[in-house]
Amino acid sequence: MASNLNNQNTPLLTPEMENPQIKSSSSISIPIENNEALTQFHELEDTPHGRHLGVFGVVMMIIQRIIGSGIFAVSSMIYRDVGGCTGLFFLVWIIAGYSSYAGISCFGELGSIVPRSGGMKVFLEYIYFKPKMMMSVVFNCYTLLFGSIIANVIVLGEYLLYACGYDADPNMAKIIGLIFLFFSCLTLGISTKIGVKIQNITGVLKLLLLCFISLTGLYVLIFPFSLTKIENNFHLNEFFKVKSTVTFSSFSSALLKAIFSFNGWQTTHVVMNEIKDPVQTMKIAAPLALLLINACYLLINLSYLIVIPGDELLNIDEMVGSILFEKIFGEDVGRRFLTAIVAFSVAGNIIVVLYHISRMNQEIFRSGFLPYSRFFASNAPFGAPLRSLLIPFFITAIVISIPTDANIFNYAINLESYPLQFFIGLICFGIVLIRRRDPNLNPAIKASKFDIFFMCSFCLIMFIGPLTKSNTEFAGLPNYAWLSIFILLLCVAYWYGMFIGLPKLRGYTLEVEDKVLSDGLVIKTWKKVSSDGQGYQLV
């Protein structure tokens, strides 16, 4: 049955504002003016999951979502990308850290204007409602295709093998990671409450681990060699020394890796409908979580430079965290115990990422324009998003199974991070458009002009830089920047075919209705209506 748009479970977009060939069914009312249509985004919307996340839960969610394999794996790669220059190494981390703060400030303003689940999806739909649903379709298709956790799955397997005393065999690491991914999807697909409990427990343990590693770096830095028995390899007189060539593209690649380590600050807005008093909670939880993470990251990277010689750091891939532990605490405690704890940390991150992906995918399928939307949006049979978790599982499994000698982990990081910066830039620029569209709008959280300018400029640079990067680093794989653009263009082609080309070619219009599923979730159903008035369901 169709529902009225004034109901709290309204669809995220109004058909009339999306496409002149899309008509609303007689069973739902559609505002004529775009400004009226946009007001639906300002209303709070509840879901069958209920509001159960407070300040502590959101802080733990951000910490869990951000801290995964990144800080324990990419630092050595960043050091290599910046030519072994300590000054540039810290500059990369400072820029990435500030971008997370500026980004969450911008997203905070949009979240106070549009307090709904969906995150970037809803923000883009609210800002760019023209032309004719293009942004909605492109971003949703992109999210489904890039919504995988390839890098974390690989690192989890490698760290578990290393902790058990084995060499990190790539194939065995992938198998172990996929087994864990399967059971994680199954767990979250049966009960979301189990996922939240695991998230809170592992979030606390992960924060304790970060503090421990950070204090270890200070211990080596402050106390003399006679006490620590560890040589200090951090020398201020070599702070600006460049050991190998640094290019614009390699510096951009380093930034993408650092951004990957902070990726996740934006995802709390995906579950806004599950946060108690979302605006006030986000004002407290988001800055607090980022402050803790930035401080720990700074000290951990300092630990790498102090403990591991620069020449050795240049030749390490994603096992840099484990090597740090082994050098400080020896093989038994360092290599086995602490490496196992890092693996546990990555495992917790995988669970949190899956939690967010499942919610994001549900929001996408609620829009109804993709095949089998009703099936994947449903919470059946366990009252949890099991079906929407099938997509990230199979995409991750397929990509990991590609036979290549290139570093899949490194490639996956760049492939996941690159197009994300494009959409984040569009969203941050959208704040300028919103302020011009409605000068009287007074959000509870307001981003500074400098933060908006910084994010727009930063995302533009990150979009242009990798386009010039050579493909020698990833032999046998396409340039990740051009591949991302090609996929985005395919998404545009899908939008044009469904909403513009085919309706004109075959002489029909599109009609949309709201459908309420058995669990109370509201989705859209699209119909083709031919010239004789006979309609049939499209997706």
Mean pLDDT of 44-50: 53
Q: Name the H helices within 147-247.
A: 150-163, 170-190, 192-222, 225-228
Check whether the bond before 131 is cis (ω within 30° of 0): yes
**Residue 242, in any domain of the structure:** no
pLDDT, one tens digit per residue, over 207-229 is 787 778 778 777 777 887 777 77
| pLDDT recorded at residue 403 | 72
Mean pLDDT of 68-76: 82
- In this predicted structure, the answer to whether residue 25 has a pLDDT above a threshold of 50 is no
| pLDDT recorded at residue 11 | 34
Quick one: tokens of 5? 């748009």
Please tell me the least confidently modeled range out of 100-114, 333-347, 381-395, 420-434.
333-347
Element (H, E) at 524: strand 522-530
Higher pLDDT, 493 or 511: 493
DSSP 3-state of 511: strand
**Residue 106, in any domain of the structure:** yes
Total domains in the chain come to: 1
| pLDDT recorded at residue 28 | 29
| pLDDT recorded at residue 495 | 92
- In this predicted structure, the answer to whether residue 339 has a pLDDT above a threshold of 90 is no
Q: Are the C-beta atoms of residues 502 and 156 closer than 8 Å to each other?
A: no
Rounded to the nearest integer, the mean pLDDT of the chain is: 79
**Residue 1, in any domain of the structure:** no
Higher pLDDT, 192 or 312: 312
Alpha-carbon span 156 to 352, nearest angstrom: 14
Q: Provide the pLDDT confidence category of residue 270 given band limits of 50, 70 and 90.
A: low
pTM: predicted TM-score of the whole model, two decimal places? 0.76
Which residues, 6+ apart, have CB-to-CB distance to 371 below 8 Å? Answer: 539
| pLDDT recorded at residue 452 | 94
Domain that holds residue 342: 15-50+68-235+250-402+409-537
Mean pLDDT of 252-274: 80
Element (H, E) at 406: none
Higher pLDDT, 519 or 357: 357
Amino acid at the residue 523: I
Write b or e for each residue in 279-310: b if 16 or more Cβ atoms lie within 10 A of its Cβ, otherwise e: bebbbebbeebbebbbebbbbbbbbbbbbbeb
| pLDDT recorded at residue 388 | 87
Quick one: tokens of 161? 């093998």
Mean pLDDT of 61-66: 79
Q: In this structure, what DSSP letter does residue 332 have?
A: I
Write b or e for each residue in 409-437: b if 16 or more Cβ atoms lie within 10 A of its Cβ, otherwise e: bbbbbbbbbbbbbbbbbbbbbbbeebeee
Mean pLDDT of 334-357: 81
- In this predicted structure, the answer to whether residue 89 has a pLDDT above a threshold of 90 is yes
**Residue 56, in any domain of the structure:** no
Q: Provide the pLDDT confidence category of residue 92 given band limits of 50, 70 and 90.
A: very high
**Residue 3, in any domain of the structure:** no
Write b or e for each residue in 356-381: b if 16 or more Cβ atoms lie within 10 A of its Cβ, otherwise e: bbbbbbbbbbbbbbbeebbebbbbee
pLDDT, one tens digit per residue, over 460-484 is 988 887 887 655 566 667 888 888 8
- In this predicted structure, the answer to whether residue 95 has a pLDDT above a threshold of 90 is yes
- In this predicted structure, the answer to whether residue 492 has a pLDDT above a threshold of 90 is yes
**Residue 213, in any domain of the structure:** yes
- In this predicted structure, the answer to whether residue 33 has a pLDDT above a threshold of 60 is no
- In this predicted structure, the answer to whether residue 383 has a pLDDT above a threshold of 90 is no
| pLDDT recorded at residue 455 | 93
- In this predicted structure, the answer to whether residue 19 has a pLDDT above a threshold of 50 is no
Return the CATH number at 217: 1.20.1740.10
**Residue 59, in any domain of the structure:** no
Q: Tokens 């324009």 — which residue?
A: 369
**Residue 8, in any domain of the structure:** no
Q: Are the C-beta atoms of residues 354 and 196 closer than 8 Å to each other?
A: no
pLDDT, one tens digit per residue, over 442-463 is 888 888 999 999 999 999 988 8
Percent of the chain with pLDDT over 90: 12
Q: Provide the pLDDT confidence category of residue 536 given band limits of 50, 70 and 90.
A: low
